[in-house]
Amino acid sequence: MRLQIRPLLAGLAALALSAGIAAAQNFPTKPITMLIPFAAGGPTDVVGRLIGEHMSRTLGQPVIIENAVGAAGTLAGQRLMAGASDGHTILIGHTGTHAAAVSLNPNLRYRPVEDFAHIGLVNTNPIFVNVRKDHPANTLRELVTWLKANQATANNAHAGVGSVSHTTCLLFHSVIGVKVAGIPYRGTAPAMNDLVGGKVDYLCDQGVNVAPQTRAATIKTLAIAQDQRAALLPDVPTSTEAGVPDFKVIVWNAMFTHKDAPPAAIEKLNGALRAALNDATLKAKLTEIGAEIPTAEQQTPNGLRAFIASEIARWTPIIQAAGVRIE
Ligand code: MLT
């Protein structure tokens, strides 16, 4: 009996394996779901939609955006891990969800390096410090002075503890020596609405969300947290020019899929991401909204994995020095 079952099982296993290989080679066989960890209309959403639209053309299947908001963006990562491993679900994570969260959140339910398949780095973004338009501060130095006098009552909007807007303002606070309670939102799209509405005092945010409001003078943008001014908002001084040279930070978005996704699916997703990032029209659009294209190495799965590990190492001492932890 055993002699007959063995070849049968071996045959079935071989059949299943070849069916699996064929499915992976035909990937994608249905629409791709792109999980965005923050609210629609915000920085992650805008970049994700642009990239997703281009990838859908390369892959021959729609890329459907799902704003899976919660737990400062980490819920989307949990969703990806718990879902199907066929590569049809992808996630746009960022500096907050896949680097800073590691040291901020002792209960983080995933390990950004080990628990995902890495597809590639998508873009980097500059960070700007912004105040409501009727705020008394007109320069970064004036905001520092104001914060030192008003830290107990100041309202700092952010997209949840561990988000980019939270961690970058945290860095700003640590550099200037203040502690301010934040007001969490589901993303910086709604946080920006309240800054424009004058309901909160200030917000550290990515250029794509900031520039339209700065140009319309519905907010005041006091500095960009880097050494060079950005073409996006050339009149905004650098943090060095504005007197806080130690406040420098660049944030990024990156693409992931399920850890056990078939290698052929990862390869196709990566090919579609690289096609998007190297398309002249899309590149121009991304540059126009202030996003920068990563290096060729960072656009690969291995390059992203190494980058994420280096970013976790970079953010851990910053978060520890700021003495903040989500409990
Ligand atoms: C967003 O898309 O709303 C932002 O990336 C949130 C954040 O500040 O991390």
Tens digit of each residue's pLDDT (9 = 90 or more) over 285-305: 999 999 999 999 999 999 999
Q: What mean pLDDT is predicted for residues 264-277? A: 98
* Nearest Cα residue to atom 3 of ligand 1: 187
Is residue 160 lining ligand 1, measured as CB closer than 6 Å?
no
Is residue 187 lining ligand 1, measured as CB closer than 6 Å?
yes
Q: What mean pLDDT is predicted for residues 162-185? A: 94
pLDDT higher than 50, residue 222 = yes
Q: What mean pLDDT is predicted for residues 25-45? A: 96
What DSSP line would sit under 22-78, residue for residue? HHHHT--SSPEEEEESS-TTSHHHHHHHHHHHHHHHHHTS-EEEEE---GGGHHHHH
Centre of ligand 1 from the C-alpha of residue 31, in Å: 25
Centre of ligand 1 from the C-alpha of residue 225, in Å: 16
Is residue 42 lining ligand 1, measured as CB closer than 6 Å?
yes
pLDDT higher than 90, residue 216 = yes
Which tokens go with 82?
């718990």
Centre of ligand 1 from the C-alpha of residue 241, in Å: 26
Q: What mean pLDDT is predicted for residues 171-198? A: 95
Is residue 39 lining ligand 1, measured as CB closer than 6 Å?
yes
For residue 122, give the 3-state DSSP assignment.
Answer: strand
Domains of the chain: 21-124+252-322 (3.40.190.150), 126-224 (3.40.190.10)
Is residue 159 lining ligand 1, measured as CB closer than 6 Å?
yes
Q: What is the pLDDT at residue 3?
A: 46
**Higher confidence at residue 2 or residue 201?**
201
Position 225 confidence tier, pLDDT thresholds 50, 70, 90: very high
Measure the CA–CA gap between 181 and 241, rounded to whole angstroms.
27
Q: What is the pLDDT at residue 326?
A: 73
Measure the CA–CA gap between 121 and 135, rounded to whole angstroms.
36
